[in-house]
Each structure stands twice: as C-alpha cells, then as structure tokens.
Structure 1
C-alpha cells in the first residue's frame, strides 16, 4: 500500500462548558505572564462525561462523516494521556462496544500526546495487512480535579477536555466526500528524554502517592536543573525540523513546500509556537503556521486529529482547499514527534 491510497475522515467532540482564562487569572490560577505567553481564551471542561464517553461521541460523528457502519470496522484504536474513568479496565473495548463495532479488535494506544499519530501509524499497518477493512481511531482526555490542575499542573501547557476520532480507509472505490488523502506520516523518537516526565527518585506502588495531583512541573524542573532547558528546547526544534522535512519528502513536496497551505502545530500556546515550532518549521518551509488551541487548549492525545478535523471541515478559516496540501505536527512525552501531510482531493 502507498500513502496515496489512504483516506481519513476526522471529527471531534468538545464539551459545551468552558473555563475562561480571564476567570483563571482573576482567581490567581495563572499569572498575567502565563496568560500572555499562552494567548488562549478558554479551555473546554467536561462536568460529567468521562474521556471514553466523549470518544464515543466523536466516533459517531466520524463514522457518519465517512458513511461507514460501525459493524464494518476491523479495528478500533483508542489513545489517551490521562485517567479514563476506571482504575483497571480497557477504554478501547468500551469505545468499540458503545460505538457498535462488535466485530472489531479494540486496542489501546498509550504514547502520551503523540497518541493519535501512533494510532494512525498502527492503522496504516492494519490497512496494509487487510486492505479495504476500515479502522476507527479515537482519542479522549478529561483533565479533571482533584487529580489534575489543567491550568497549573504543567509548564507552558493548558489542558482542555475533549475527544477526537477518524475513520481511516484505503482504496479509491468508496472514498468519503470531504475526507483527506494521507500523503505521508513520519515519526521520530528520542527515548532518552523520557525522564523529563518521570520521578527519578523512585517508582511508586500506586497513583498519587508522591503528589495529590499530577505534577509535571516538578519532574520537568528536576530535568531542566540537571540537563539544561536550552538544550532540551534545541532538541525539540531539531527533531521537529527533521520529522517535518521527512514527511514533506515522503509526500513528494520539495524544498520550500510548494503547494503547502499551512503547518498546524500542537496546541501548546503562543510562546511555544513562536520560540520552538516557528523556527523549526521555518528551516523546512515558508508555509504559514497556526496554533488552533485558542478555544480548546491542549487536548492531550487529540491535537492532531482535531487539527485534521479543522482542515476537513466544510467551512471555517482553516478549511483545506481542494488540491492543496497541509502538514500537521504532533509531539508527546517520551519523546516522540510525528508529522502528517494531507491533501484535500
């Protein structure tokens, strides 16, 4: 199978409730400097639905968009970064059951915030082995208290609740109207950076024994103290440049990225887009970059599929025009980087 044969019909489901940055600022949950660096207006918040329940809603939208019955799915791949609502359980099987994919093989994908790209990569392997059998990819994350502080639990990342999904298929006989053709997907990893998110002092017997809530700031601060923040950011830039260049080459898009409408970024805020992703992308192409997180924040494993949904939308400022290409970047703790190149056909 070649990438030219693969199509993606993406969708998302975000809760209607939201917490505003202005309110977080007034409550001293963030500082004025943090709000300026992020540049986001609000974060979607789920007051009741769990992450897998939201994923089911996104899945139904993607299946409807693709015109694919759930019973036809061969595989369901569910990715996430944080707690799924039960301690000892398979959320992927729940998503498959609630979606109606009773004959599909459910599989969980845990590659942190690069989870959607990892699931998409797995979907390509499944399609290569079984052409014509569509695959459903979903993500779902809910960063609820008391276990997670969506505003202050991490440096330079604000976390929004929501879910995304995509039906991934191959072959030209039943390509859904409005779907995106996947022209390339490239991934790189640097496992030696995993300790940026690990408590190096000890492994623990159960969650939240060291801290009442997830504390990414503590592990990152320890990592930066020992190895240096500037070296870490330089590595992020270099890997982003390398993965984007490889994906554009795989898609047959030459130096400078002719025909490339945009490069959509992980939703990590204005300062990260300016200081890390902007310079990294500029090494490869002069196509404009965009961070679509102003009203979503970082969706955990879902940024990539949410960005694809924006490109595939029938309306909206980021709708990809027919014949044009776009690249979507993804990154996750570990660390892993991915770049997908799609075309509106």
Structure 2
C-alpha cells in the first residue's frame, strides 16, 4: 500500500495495573518449571474491564496527547481478537459513542492478531479516498480471562496480555499548524506512516480449524478455548511446520522489501534505526531474526516482557513505544512487523517528523 501523501500517526497503549506473574503461577502449581522456561517472560497485564473499554482508554490517551476533538474524527476502525463482552453487538459503535466521535463511521475489523494493522489499512484507504475525512481513529482492545480463555496455556508461543491500543491518523501538516487551542503535547515525535504492506497465504486458515467441525454456538468445541488442538491436528496432517515456516519467511521478506521500496528507503539505509516484532515467543520469531539481520542489520525490538501478546494490538503498541521511548530523530525510520492467523503478514514503515 503506497501512501501517496504524508499521514501523521500518533499512537498510545493502555495497560491495566494488575499483573499475573509467572512466579505466582509456578508456586500455585498452575505452571511447571519447563513451561516457565519456555514462556520467556515474567508477567502480563490483567484487566477487570472488557476489551472495548480498554480501547476507549487508549483512545482517550492519544486524543488528549494530540489535543484533538473527537467530533472531527470521520472513521473509527476497531479491531479485536477475543470476546468483547456481549455476544450480539457492535463494539466499534460503543468506542465511537464513548469518545464522542458521533460523526464518525464505526467499523469492526477482524483479522486475528493482524486485526489492528488491517484496521490501520482501512483508515489509510478512507483518508486517501475521501478528502472530506479529516482524521481516522484505529483502536484495539482485548481481555483474555477464564473460563473461556487460559492466557498462559491456550496457544503455542504466546502468552496473552490484556490491553487497549489506539492510533490517530491524519493528513500531515508540514508547517505544524494546528487550529487554535489544539497545540499538541507529545512525549515523542509524530510519526509519518510511509508505507503499509500485506501478504496473505489463506491456505493456512486450517491451522486454527484442524479437524474440528463447524459449530452452531460459541465455545461449543470446548471451554476454555484450546488453540493448540487444531494446530496440532493440522501439523499432523501436513507433515509438520516446514511449509508454513517457508511461507512465513517469504511473506515477511516480501512485505518488508515492498514497504521499504514504497517508502523510498534502501534496506541498508543508515536512517533505519530499529525494527519491532510481534509480541510472541522467541521460538515463533526465530526464523524472522536471521532474515531481518540479513536485510536490515539494525536493532530488533522485542517488547513482550510486561505485556505478552496483546491480541490485535501488538503493532499499534509497538508504534506507541517507538514514538515515546526510542528517540527517533527527524528523518529517521523504524520498521514494524505484524501478522496474524489466517495467515496474513504485514509491515509498516514510519518516519519521525
């Protein structure tokens, strides 16, 4: 997705204060020593409020930092991975209403863990296609709690943390002029979204389906959700992980090179400061490390400690971290890799304004 005009992006993450710690679970017998070593982190955030409310809190944070009136938002794209608190309901409309974005079109986006990136793509398309849309807001919010979900044991290579994320996307004003009373107060530089690319291998949707039949009601296949069962069945039928790992490496390479080319940046450009990865386990990302070292040779950010995998929100959370904490100078770049079951992989290139 080549972005024909500069779009400014400001992102925020909202993490609940409560934590579940590996040491406590080990002491209580809920995890064993081998499992704790494989997890590779010490704690994750746990929320007592549902995903859409987490999204609202992250959005309030980004709107306050930008001093941006939510009434001026033309689109709210909300993404999620897991249950949003009601069975037959529209979470994006809730987010828009709670924020006061009453003129915005609320849209829900589902693309597993890549949902936040897909929602960002929807926002980019809307801004570039419709000059009457002044700003678009992207949010994610997920809460992974019993009895429906065991955040520690549901999946391979992922411990799921609760969080909301948000990104405000606007056409960039190079002169930095804001309407009166709207001067921003930011903890880091505004990021310019230079490119956003996707690659899909839809044949791997079966990895999350396995041998399970289609069901008629939620959780009919069993409670809590067991992501490992269908993955194991799929791998048994298809002879292991080899073909998938090959496809994943090809997709990451393709999206990365396309994003760099569309941003006008060569792979070895010294202005590229870092690349951030999804907040997944080390063994899941190991194939990506060699590829990124080969193409970029820059600092690799793995930010899962203290957060875990944030459902649909990893990429937006990584953008918020880069803006607030990574010290990009104007004209320097960062790369953020995403992906989600189905499978779709993604890559964003941002520049510090």
For residue 203 of structure 2, the aligned residue among 184, 187, 192 is 192
- Residue 118 (structure 2) aligns with: 118
- Residue 181 (structure 2) aligns with: none
Q: State how far apart, in whole Å, the 2-side matches of 1:62 and 1:83 are.
A: 24
Contact 1:29 1:152 in 2 (8 A): no
Displacement of 1:199 in angstroms is: 4.2
Unpaired runs of 5+ residues, structure 1, are none
- Which deviates more, 3-12 or 170-179? 170-179
Which consecutive aligned stretches of 4+ in structure 1 deviate over 6 angstroms post-superposition?
none
Q: State how far apart, in whole Å, the 1-side matches of 2:9 and 2:193 are.
A: 7
- Residue 139 (structure 2) aligns with: 138
Residues 1:14 and 2:8 aligned together? no
- Residue 75 (structure 1) aligns with: 75
Unpaired runs of 5+ residues, structure 2, are 179-183
Normalized against structure 2, the TM-score is what? Answer: 0.92
Q: State how far apart, in whole Å, the 1-side matches of 2:39 and 2:350 are.
A: 27
SS of the residue corresponding to residue 198 of structure 2 reads strand
Displacement of 1:288 in angstroms is: 1.8
SS of the residue corresponding to residue 77 of structure 2 reads strand
- Residue 165 (structure 1) aligns with: 166
SS of the residue corresponding to residue 295 of structure 2 reads coil
- Which deviates more, 30-39 or 15-24? 30-39
Q: State how far apart, in whole Å, the 1-side matches of 2:120 and 2:271 are.
A: 24
Tell me the alpha carbon deviations over residues 246-277 of structure 1, each in whole angstroms, 9 at most, x when there is no partner.
Answer: 1111111113243111110000023333x222
Residues 1:335 and 2:343 aligned together? yes
- Residue 279 (structure 2) aligns with: 267
For residue 289 of structure 1, the aligned residue among 287, 300, 311 is 300
Contact 2:7 2:193 in 1 (8 A): yes
Q: State how far apart, in whole Å, the 2-side matches of 1:81 and 1:291 are.
A: 21
Q: State how far apart, in whole Å, the 2-side matches of 1:325 and 1:208 are.
A: 43
Displacement of 1:321 in angstroms is: 3.0
- Residue 182 (structure 1) aligns with: 193
Cα distance change on mapping 1:257 and 1:40 into 2, 3 Å: farther
- Which deviates more, 190-199 or 331-340? 190-199
Q: State how far apart, in whole Å, the 2-side matches of 1:33 and 1:249 are.
A: 43
Residues 1:229 and 2:241 aligned together? yes
Normalized against structure 1, the TM-score is what? Answer: 0.94
Residues 1:87 and 2:98 aligned together? no
SS of the residue corresponding to residue 74 of structure 1 reads strand
- Which deviates more, 37-46 or 250-259? 250-259
Q: State how far apart, in whole Å, the 2-side matches of 1:201 and 1:179 are.
A: 46
